[in-house]
């Protein structure tokens, strides 16, 4: 063996001899690592020996150097084994590794202060263990959308006709002129497919961008003793991550410390029961799961593709082909119109074929086209192809393919603009549903208010405290303990200076800030004197949090409670007065405290109470064993009033919603007095509105109504105070039963059922938990109610833009169908050729959709009542407008068809050009009419929509090119200035006609109500 192997002795010693300074778990990792590397080395050498051939090299080295040096930074850990331990929840193997503490040591993580977190440290960890990202399925390429567009049946029919037309055209007229008809259809098909594919491709890309933004969750970690927020993608193995109710677990890991931590693993296992996570029986946490209760800290052991969630998500592609309700209705409408168009096209086909074979058609020289047996088969086939192509183009014009395109464009445009207006759309359908919203149920904290809380009042006993130096020393210590130990927040004080950084929820930050700055509290010192035994975490149902702890000095056990003032007050039987004496809390005293709480609440203050009890010796063992906090006979320490000022602009936003016919209701966990004060300040409640007590109710009262009472009173309720998430859900259900379209805002985990139940769920981007965001349709990025009002405006804009385009599109369809049908039946020929009809279709479908679908919201939208969800898509006003314009166009164009030659003294070909030119220009002028469905002034705000003006300009330029320069291609003749003037004059008459028509009143009963679109 010595011929093949000579290993440096120093290398062996460095691996086998673990340094004496290493902890026991690290020595185990060291030994495991050495064993793995030696077994691999020996196996490799034996393989080399066995594979040795008879032909030996001329000179062989006397030794082989094996590089068995591990990754220098993490030499005592086999990451693959650790990943498997966590994935398989292998508690025995975890103990072999030295438990969680051993793993933390091996990962060079301080369980309290986290990793160093400098650039080099992060880079080393990412190199050793990977980053917290996973490869997504490749995005759909542009070619995919081109192929999708080709699957359209109409496109396939057009391509078949184009091929036949091209073949017979070249055969009949030669290559130089025979390609026009077939080639023009190809060009039109190419343009339609291009616009459709580009639009869908861009929308897909936009969804991808939104998906990246929505996946970029902010996570709280501890690095170098400093609690900070980072992106989920920046987490590395060894990080200490802070978890609280509603958080998504960002990576696989192990539980370090915390209390009452329960995790919802249904996304991984499908089991709906919450799993308790603790140090002894189940310290395993998995990426993608949600924190259901409690709080804690975890040590990250695997990231990205090494997690079960990463493996799963890398194979899942988000479905971007979501069809909104409006798109479904439009597809149905398109189908209905298509059937009518198909019937008309078939009729035209039959009429033209009959006229041809009965000898009623003439060629360009005035000769009869069909002469029985004398006509060549080739001529008959050419004629049939021409007739079929004309029929197919009628179908193409009849089917308003632009409708789905218009919806796609307007939704994509609206989504982009809403993002700029602080609203991220997660579900497309929410854009249009929001336009129909009749009521908005909003939270108070952070939505109507700034969520910048500050303690402004403190009451000790029945006296307000102005100066903390006057507080009794014993009481002061109790307050400091209650704040420091019963909190999910933290305080970071930089070593270099006195600058402090407080993290946690806004309420926690306000209380901690007050305790540190006003009461001179040192959180770290207090924590050293007490051992926490059990914690009851705060949630929106209980509205309180408590802590059971042992004082290390004398082993006495204490309970501290903190929460909504009236709830804590109900648990107390005594109180501390200003001098530090304990007084009995009888009914009279209780009434006094209730008045103090009401007074603070009436000043828009959120009232928090602190209470304490020392557990008697005889009850200590029971309390420790049961891990249950005592909830009665407490002593009230004090009351604090926290001010959260209203957001600027909220009152105006509420008034805008009310003016638009949308009721705003406030649902809050605060007490009645605070809720009433804030609601009045925001304009939700008028000062004189709650005289009979029906406008403001408590959640419990609402909950205890009979179903009949709830349905009767829910319409009058403007404010619901002291509500639980169940009360919010109950209100949403009642409002929906009454026919309302309900939008709900929510930020907590417990708001998820109400957000899902509502027609539009709006979650908060800053304060919202990941559970709330996943249950919502739209995320309000700045947590501001004014943004909710903006979303309402955009929702109405989407619906209004679609209606504008439908009116415009159907005017074209009705006019083109009637003109071609009447002319074909009576004269035996179609005045608008295949190329011309395709050109009109292209202009109206794509450019028209682009022009009308990108109109921005106006104040007028908020002056109308909400559109009910059952109202017809084509309103009476739209029918009035489109029928008037269509009838005018039909009358003018049929007059030109039958009398144009004599009226203008022109040839048949010039007359056909006049008909084509007038028809297109009528659509251009009617595009202005379509901008306003009801208002007579269609030019208002026109200068703001540069895109609309640009598209009108492009359309006119292209039309001039078609008429003047593409004579053979478009089958047109050049027109002189007078003829152009006549065409423009006739088309411009649609403006005064539109103005007059809008003076005609329409009934409220839906026109053609028997038709179900």
Q: Which DSSP helix (H) or strand (E) runs through 664? A: strand 663-667
Sequence-separated (6 or more) residues with CB below 8 Å from residue 189: 155, 158, 159, 162
CA distance 119 to 459: 48
Active site residue 782: no
Closest CA to 178 of 162, 167, 187, 189: 167
Q: How far is CA 421 from CA 280, 418, 755, in A?
A: 48, 5, 21
Q: Which is catalytic among the residues 105, 264, 443, 727?
A: 443
Helical spans, DSSP H, in 707-784 = 707-713, 725-737, 752-757, 770-775
Q: How far apart are CA 48 and CA 45, in angstroms?
A: 5
Helix (H, G, I), strand (E, B) or coil at 448: coil
3 state DSSP class of 464: strand
Contact 341, 813 (CB under 8 A): yes
The residue with tokens 């179609």 is 830
Partner residues linked to 114 by β-bridges: 110
Is residue 522 packed enough to be buried (19+ CB in 10 Å), middle (13-18) or exposed (0-12)? middle
Q: Which residues of 564-596 are buried (b: 16+ CB within 10 A; e: fewer)?
A: bbbebbebbebbbebeeeeeebeeebbeebeeb
* DSSP category for residue 291: E
> What separation in angstroms does the CA of 488 have from each of 70, 483, 531, 536?
40, 10, 16, 11
DSSP H helical segments within 905-989, as ranges? 908-929, 946-964, 967-970, 977-988
Q: Do 245 and 259 touch, CB atoms closer than 8 A?
A: no
For residue 683, give the 3-state DSSP assignment: coil
Asked whether the beta carbons of 278 and 294 are under 8 A apart, the reply is no
CA distances in angstroms from 242 to 294, 303, 702, 800, listed in the order given: 11, 16, 37, 46
> d(Cα 916, Cα 446) in Å, to the nearest integer?
59
SS (H, E, C) 519-558: CCCCHHHHHHHEEEEEEECCCCCCCEEEEEEEECCCCCEE
Q: Distance (Å, rounded) from C-alpha 149 to C-alpha 158? A: 13
CA distances in angstroms from 690 to 591, 619, 693, listed in the order given: 23, 48, 5
**Measured distance CA(730)–CA(988) in Å, rounded:** 56
Cα separation, 919 vs 911, in Å, equals 12
The phi and psi torsions of 557 (rounded to 5 degrees) equal: -110, 135
Give the position of tokens 């109790």.
Answer: 478
DSSP letters for 481-531:
HHHHHS-S-EEEE-SSSS-EEEES-HHHHHHHHHHHHTT---HHHHHHHEE
Within 13 A of 69's CA, how many CA atoms are on the CB side?
8
**Alpha-carbon torsion (224, 225, 229, 234), positive or negative:** positive
Pairing of strands 284-285, 252-264: antiparallel
Residue with tokens 């104040």: 859
The catalytic residues are 443
């Amino acid at each position: 063996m010595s011929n093949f192997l000579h290993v440096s002795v120093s290398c062996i010693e460095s691996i086998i001899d673990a340094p004496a300074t290493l902890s026991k778990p690290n020595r185990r990792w060291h030994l495991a690592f050495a064993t793995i590397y030696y077994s691999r080395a020996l196996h490799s050498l034996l393989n080399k020996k066995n594979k040795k051939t008879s032909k030996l090299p001329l000179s062989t080295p006397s030794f082989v150097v094996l590089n068995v040096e591990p990754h220098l930074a993490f030499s005592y850990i086999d990451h693959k084994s650790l990943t498997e331990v966590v994935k398989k929840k292998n508690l025995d193997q975890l103990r072999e590794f030295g438990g969680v503490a051993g793993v933390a040591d091996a990962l060079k993580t301080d369980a309290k202060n986290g990793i160093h977190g400098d650039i080099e440290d992060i880079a080393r960890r990412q190199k050793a263990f990977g980053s917290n990202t996973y490869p997504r399925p490749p995005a759909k390429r542009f070619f995919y959308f081109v192929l999708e567009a080709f699957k359209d049946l109409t496109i396939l029919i057009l391509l078949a006709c184009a091929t036949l037309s091209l073949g017979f055209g070249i055969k009949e007229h030669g290559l130089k002129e025979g390609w026009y008809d077939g080639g023009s259809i190809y060009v039109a098909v190419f343009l339609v497919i291009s616009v459709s594919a580009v639009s869908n491709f861009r929308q897909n890309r936009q969804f991808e961008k939104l998906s990246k933004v929505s996946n970029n969750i902010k996570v709280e970690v501890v690095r170098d003793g400093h609690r900070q927020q980072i992106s989920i993608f920046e987490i590395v193995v060894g990080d200490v991550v802070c978890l609280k109710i509603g958080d998504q677990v960002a990576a696989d890991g192990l539980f370090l410390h915390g209390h009452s931590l329960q995790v919802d693993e249904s996304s991984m296992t499908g089991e709906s029961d919450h799993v308790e996570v603790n140090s002894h029986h189940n310290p395993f946490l998995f990426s993608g799961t949600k924190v259901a209760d409690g709080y804690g800290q975890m040590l990250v052991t695997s990231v990205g593709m090494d997690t079960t969630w990463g493996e799963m998500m890398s194979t899942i592609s988000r479905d971007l082909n979501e069809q909104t309700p409006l798109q479904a209705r439009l597809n149905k409408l398109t189908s209905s119109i298509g059937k009518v168009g198909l019937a008309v096209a078939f009729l035209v086909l039959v009429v033209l074929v009959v006229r041809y074979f009965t000898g009623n058609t003439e060629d360009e020289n005035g000769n009869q086209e069909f002469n029985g047996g004398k006509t060549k088969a080739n001529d008959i086939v050419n004629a049939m192809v021409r007739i079929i192509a004309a029929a197919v183009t009628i179908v193409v014009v009849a089917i308003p393919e632009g409708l789905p395109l218009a919806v796609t464009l307007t939704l994509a445009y609206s989504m982009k603009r809403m993002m700029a207006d602080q609203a991220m759309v997660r579900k497309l359908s929410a854009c249009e549903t929001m336009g129909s919203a009749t009521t908005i149920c909003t939270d108070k904290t952070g939505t109507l208010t700034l969520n910048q809380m500050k303690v402004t009042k403190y009451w000790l006993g029945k006296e307000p405290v102005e100066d903390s130096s006057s507080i009794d020393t014993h009481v002061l210590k109790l307050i400091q303990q209650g704040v420091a130990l019963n909190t999910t927040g933290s305080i970071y004080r930089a070593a270099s200076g006195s600058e402090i950084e407080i993290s946690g929820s806004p309420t926690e930050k306000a209380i901690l800030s007050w305790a540190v700055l006003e009461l001179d509290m040192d959180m770290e010192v207090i924590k050293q004197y007490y051992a926490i035994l059990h914690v009851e975490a705060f949630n929106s149902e209980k509205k309180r949090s408590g802590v059971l702890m042992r004082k290390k000095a004398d082993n006495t056990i204490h309970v501290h409670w903190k929460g909504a003032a009236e709830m804590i007050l109900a648990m107390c039987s005594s109180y501390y007065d200003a001098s530090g004496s304990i007084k009995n809390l009888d009914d009279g005293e209780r009434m006094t405290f209730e008045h103090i709480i009401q007074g603070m609440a009436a000043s828009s203050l959120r009232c928090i109470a602190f209470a304490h009890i020392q557990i008697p010796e005889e009850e200590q063992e029971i309390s420790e064993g049961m891990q249950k906090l005592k909830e009665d006979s407490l002593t009230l320490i004090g009351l604090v009033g926290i001010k959260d000022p209203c957001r600027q602009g909220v009152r105006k936003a509420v008034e805008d919603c009310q003016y638009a016919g949308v009721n705003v209701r406030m649902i809050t966990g605060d007490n009645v007095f605070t809720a009433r004060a804030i609601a009045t300040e925001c304009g939700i409640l008028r000062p004189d509105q709650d005289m009979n007590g029906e406008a403001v109710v408590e959640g419990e009262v609402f909950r205890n109504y009979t179903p009949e009472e709830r349905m009767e009173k829910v319409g009058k309720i403007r404010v619901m105070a002291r509500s639980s998430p169940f009360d919010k859900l109950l209100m949403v259900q009642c409002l929906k039963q009454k026919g309302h379209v309900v939008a709900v805002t929510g930020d907590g985990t417990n708001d998820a059922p109400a957000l899902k139940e509502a027609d539009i769920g709006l979650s908060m981007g800053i304060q919202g938990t990941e559970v709330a965001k996943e249950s919502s349709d739209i995320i309000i990025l700045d947590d501001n109610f004014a943004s909710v009002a903006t979303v309402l405006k955009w929702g109405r804009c989407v619906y209004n833009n679609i209606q504008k385009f439908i009116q415009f599109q159907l005017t074209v369809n009705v006019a083109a169908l009637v003109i071609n049908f009447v002319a074909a039946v009576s004269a035996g020929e179609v005045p608008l050729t295949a190329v011309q009809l395709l050109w009109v279709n292209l202009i109206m479908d794509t450019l028209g959709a682009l022009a009308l679908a990108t109109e921005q919201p106006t104040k007028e939208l908020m002056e109308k009542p909400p559109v009910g969800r059952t109202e017809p898509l084509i309103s009476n006003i739209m029918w009035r407008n489109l029928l008037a314009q269509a009838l005018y166009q039909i009358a003018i164009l049929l007059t030109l068809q039958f009398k144009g030659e004599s009226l203008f003294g022109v040839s048949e070909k010039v007359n056909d050009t006049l008909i084509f030119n007038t028809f297109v220009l009528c659509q251009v002028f009617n595009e202005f009419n379509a901008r306003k469905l009801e208002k007579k002034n269609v030019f208002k705000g026109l200068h703001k929509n540069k895109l609309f003006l640009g598209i009108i300009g492009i359309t006119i330029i292209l039309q001039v090119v078609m008429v003047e320069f593409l004579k053979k291609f478009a089958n047109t003749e050049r027109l002189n200035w007078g003829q152009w003037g006549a065409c423009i004059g006739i088309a411009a008459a649609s403006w005064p006609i539109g103005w007059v028509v809008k003076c005609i009143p329409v009934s409220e009963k839906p026109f053609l109500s028997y038709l179900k679109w």
